[in-house]
Every structure is written in structure tokens, then in C-alpha cells.
Amino acid sequence: MCGVNRHGGRRSRCLGLALIIGAVLVGCGPAAATPAVAPFASASSGSLAASSTTASSSAAGGSVPGSPAAPAATPAVATGQPASFPLAVVAADTDLRSGFTSSQVAALLRAGRVLVPCGISGVRLALVDITPDPARCLKAVAIPGAVDAAKGALALLPAGLVDPRVKVLTVDGADLFGNRVVRAEAYPVTGHADALPQDLADAASSYDPASIRTVVSTGDTCPDRAPSYWANVRGKGWDWTLKGGTARYVGVEVDGSFSGPTGDGWPVVSAVRTGRDLGSVWRIIHDADLAVNDFECPLVSYFTQHDHGTYFTIDPKVAGLMARVGMDVASLASNHITDLGPDGIRQTLADLDRAGVKHAGAGMNLAQAMKPAIVDVNGLKFAILSWDATGESRAATATTAGSLHPTTAAIRKAVALARSQADIVLLMPQWNWPEYSAPFSATALAQRDAWYRAGVDDILGSGTHWAGAYSVTKPDPSRGWRVAVTSHGNFLFGQSWSRQTQEGLIYEVTFRGRDLAQVRLHPYIVMDGAQPNLTDPATDGAFVQRQAQRYSQLP
């Protein structure tokens, strides 16, 4: 692959892949041959399915059969035999589009604007059969590199061959690698092979929907200041903060509260709510197979509304909000969690326990802070660990309250404990300081690699208040792809003085069994400093995605 590195460079193999694509697309005809629908326009609407919001995300999917760690066996399809299997519509892993309609995909396919694996003799798209041109096919193994090499390229890829080198796009709102609601939608794209070639034999039988699990992760959360003001003082209630819809930008101006990069202040976005897709943020969290959150500040009965400053106390009712939205786990190891001392930690743990929200990273002693949160997601067990790598909080000891700090001994013991109870170990650190920055620091890169060697599978980090770099790498080929996120940006934190602190990314990370299959981003802006609202990923939401991708290490 020729993906983005953390300096924004491209590997030299891109030229060869571009030549391959040129050969595939030769004779595709002028733009006039395509339908009236713009061939690569964003079709993000419809990518979120409405659903009931009354059940917990971790409990709702228990009826899915089979163990994702060892999926129910599917009869193998022999080479040379006819076969049918789902085809994912894929683009480059950094593509900003989210989905298409089946009619759009069909028109593009007929116009020769979609790469198709060799060996596919027919494509059924929403009950319409299309025969691809065999002269323009590409070996399936070359498709990830091909879509990466040509801006805007689309391809069909057997679902069994999907990995993080490509981004899967929705079709008519259905998504083979999406949450439990959209996975239940009838998927409209199927490939047929009259005589299955060797390179597609495994793909024809290796996709098992029962093996798919999505993890949704949200960023910096400390709902004092603006979130508390709107929920309590203005009487909107806490559910309102997470029931935003979509927003659009109407301008950018300068806020002079702080000096900013040029000394004149920071650019801020002016936005308005569209009035559409209300509850879409709630559904993203609720419909995930597993939802986790970086919760940075103490819940206490004596909370007070703060309009300014860096002293925070959080309304205990927020624990109930997290339970209602389906947040399964709160990561507590942060620089603010010990601000109120042992009593703040004691009350926070008690409130989360009463609400049924699991937690990790802080405790009344080291053993409690080290204990992972374990969530069984339809037979696949996730262990979530949390530690404060900034060193700003008080470290828990054998006899005193605090957060988990990542000493060598603590890491070894915590990871071993998590690994003994789970199939996948997710780490949610606060790290990659200084705050208000996007690139990986040299320290964070060294920590990431050390934590991988210690046995952590994936890292969903937070703490800088900006959406920052992430990596999708394969440091140990025998263990597959891994993702490491530096920071999601603010989620419920109340910082509206810069564009970077207004915008953020919800991460949707999809696993096929134990293997990482997809890493997809949902951009949003926090309206009124209190309510995240989704933005169009291809337009208004492009800035925050590019901010993260510019410094990322991607395949």
C-alpha cells in the first residue's frame, strides 16, 4: 500500500499502482457517459439507521449465533466451482465519503468507473444483474493498493478480503462492517463467479456476519461548564447533550480569548443545526456492539456549575446518561480524575457502578485501578485498560486512591490480568502531551510500540483536546493490523475558543473475530460547547479528519 505516513508522504509504489489503474480504466469513456448523479459525490445521508434507544448496546446483540473468535464453519468453496458472496464497496482508507445508493453504484459500474476483481462474472445490485467487463478486471490482491493510488477510485472487494487498507462504504444504508443495526439491513451487492479463481476461493466463504463486532469510542468528556449549563441551568436535561443531529458551517471567524498560532486569536467555526437526523449521535453510540468513553473528571454529589477555569465537578446524573445511551465502559485514568482527592474517586466509582457502567483506570487502591473492565460481546471478550501517561494525576498505591500510572511493573501486571480474561485487550490512555497538538510525539510513538510488545492489542487514546494522529500498522505480522489513536478531540468538555477544540472524531473500529477489519471516523462539531452534532464528512467534516490524517501512519 502507499498510504499516508506521519509526515504526509507517499511511498514510491503509488506510481506503479496508478499505472495499473490506468490500464484497468482505459476506455471508460468521458464523463458524459456517467449518470446525472455525480460519480464520486458524498452520499452520507442514510448511513445511519434509526433504531430504538431503550436497550443497552452490549446486551442488545446477544441473540447473534456463533463465537466470533471461532466462527461457525462455512462450507469451503473449491476453486473452479461457481459461488456467490457479498461484495463490499471500498475506497482508499483516507477517503472522506461514507456511502452510496445502489443506483449510484450500478451506474458507476456500468460506466466502468468501479474496479472489479478478476473472476467475478456477474454482480447483482439491488436485484439488478450487471456483467462487468472482464478486460478491465484487477486481481483482488491488488485492489487495496489500486484505490489508494488513484484519488476517488472505487472498487468491489469480496467481504472476506476486507481489511483496514480500504474503507468500506455503505450501500443504501446497509453496511457489512457496521454496527449491529445496519448489519441487519439486507445487503444489496452480491458477486457471482462461474468458476471461482484461486485468489477468491477463501473470500467466497470466509465472511461470517456473526464474527463482526464494532467498537465506538468517544473522546474527552468532562461535562462541567457549557454542558452542565445547558443541561441544568438552561433546563435542557442531560439526554439533550447526546441527542444532536447534523450541523452545517456558515463561516469561520477569530476568537481572541487566547493568542493563537499568530498571536491574534484562534479561528472558530460558526455553525447552525440542520434540524435533520436528530439523535444520530445517540444512535452511533447506542447501536455499537461496544461503546467506550474517555471520562476525565469526578462525579460528586456536591457538584457546582463552573463557567470558567480548570476546576471541575460533575453532576452524578451524567452516570445515568451514559447508561441510557449505551456507554459500556468509562476510562477514568486522566489528569483531572484525582482533582477532588479520594472522595472524588470514591463517588465516581459508586455512581458508575449504580448506573451499570463499567470502568477502568482509577480506584481506591492500585489493585482496583489496575483491574480491567471486561465486556462479553456475543462470545468475544474485550478487556479495557486505562492509564494516565501524562503523570498529572495522583498515582494509586497499594493503600491509597488514584489513577493507574504506566510503570513497567504496572503495565506488565495489568496487561497479563486483562489477557487472562479476554480475547482482545483495548488500552485507553491519556497520553501524547503537550495538549492542543495533533501529531504523534516521539514519546508517544515509543510508548505505543512498548505497549504493543507488552501485549496490548489496540489503543484508543485521548487527552489533548484536539483530534490527533492515529496509526494503523502491523508491527507483528503474526498478530495482524492494530490501531493506535492519539486523541479524539473534545466530546463533552466545553471549549469553544478554537476550531480544533470545537471539532472532534467518533471512532468506529470494526473487528472480524479478533482481527482488526476497519477504522472509520465520524466527524462532528460541538454546538454551544455542549452538544456534538455530526457534520458532512466530505465537506464541513473534512477539516478535522484531515487534521488527524495529516500526521498519521496508515497502510
- Return the minimum-mean-pLDDT range out of 138-152, 199-213, 236-250, 474-488: 199-213
Percent of the chain with pLDDT over 90: 78
C-beta separation of 362 from 394 below 8 A: no
Segment 518-538 mean pLDDT: 98
The CA distances from residue 179 to 3, 7, 162, 470, 508, in Å, are 26, 32, 16, 21, 9
Cα 192 to Cα 132, 271, 334, 464: the distances in Å are 11, 46, 51, 48
The model's pTM is 0.88
Mean pLDDT value across the chain: 88
* Residues comprising the chain, all counted: 555
Q: What is the mean pLDDT of residues 373-402?
A: 98
Cα distances (angstroms) measured from residue 226 to each of 231, 308, 387, 467: 8, 9, 27, 20
Helices 317-325 and 341-355 meet at what angle, rounded to 10? 40
Q: Report the interhelical angle of 408-419 vs 442-454 (nearest 10°).
A: 50
Dist CA 254 CA 405 (whole Å): 38
Residue 26's pLDDT is 35
263-321 confidence digits (pLDDT tens): 889 999 999 999 999 999 999 999 999 999 999 999 999 999 998 888 899 999 999 99
For residue 270, what is the enclosing H or E element? strand 266-273
Looking up cell 445547558 gives 230
- Which of 531, 98, 472 lies closest to 325 in space, CA to CA? 531
For 453-494, how does the pLDDT look when each residue is reduced to its tens digit (9 = 90+)?
999 999 999 999 999 999 999 999 999 999 999 999 999 999
CA distance 242 to 318: 11
Domain 13-42+75-207 fold: D-Maltodextrin-Binding Protein; domain 2 (3.40.190)
Residue 68 near residue 380 (C-beta atoms within 8 A): yes
- Reported as a pLDDT band with limits 50, 70 and 90, residue 79 is confident
Examine the pLDDT at 178 and tell me if it is beyond 50. yes
CATH 3.40.190 range(s) for the chain read 13-42+75-207
Query: Rounded distance, CA 165 to CA 43, Å?
Result: 21
pLDDT tier at 80, thresholds 50, 70, 90: confident
* Range with the poorest average pLDDT among 26-30, 99-103, 153-157, 510-514: 26-30
Q: Which residue blocks in 207-316 are alpha helix, DSSP H?
A: 225-228, 238-241, 280-286
Residue 204 has a pLDDT of 80
The residues of the chain that CATH labels 3.60.21 are: 214-549
User: Residue 51 above 50 pLDDT?
Assistant: no
Provide the pLDDT for residue 46: 33
> What pLDDT score does 263 carry?
86
What letter does residue 122 receive in the DSSP assignment? E
In angstroms, the CA 543 to CA 97 distance is 13
pLDDT in tens, 344-362: 999 999 999 999 999 999 9
Q: Could you tell me if residue 479 is left (phi over 0), alpha (psi between -120 and 50 degrees) or otherwise beta?
A: alpha
User: What fold does the segment set 214-549 form as a domain?
Assistant: Purple Acid Phosphatase; chain A, domain 2 (3.60.21)
| DSSP helix/strand/coil, 333 | coil
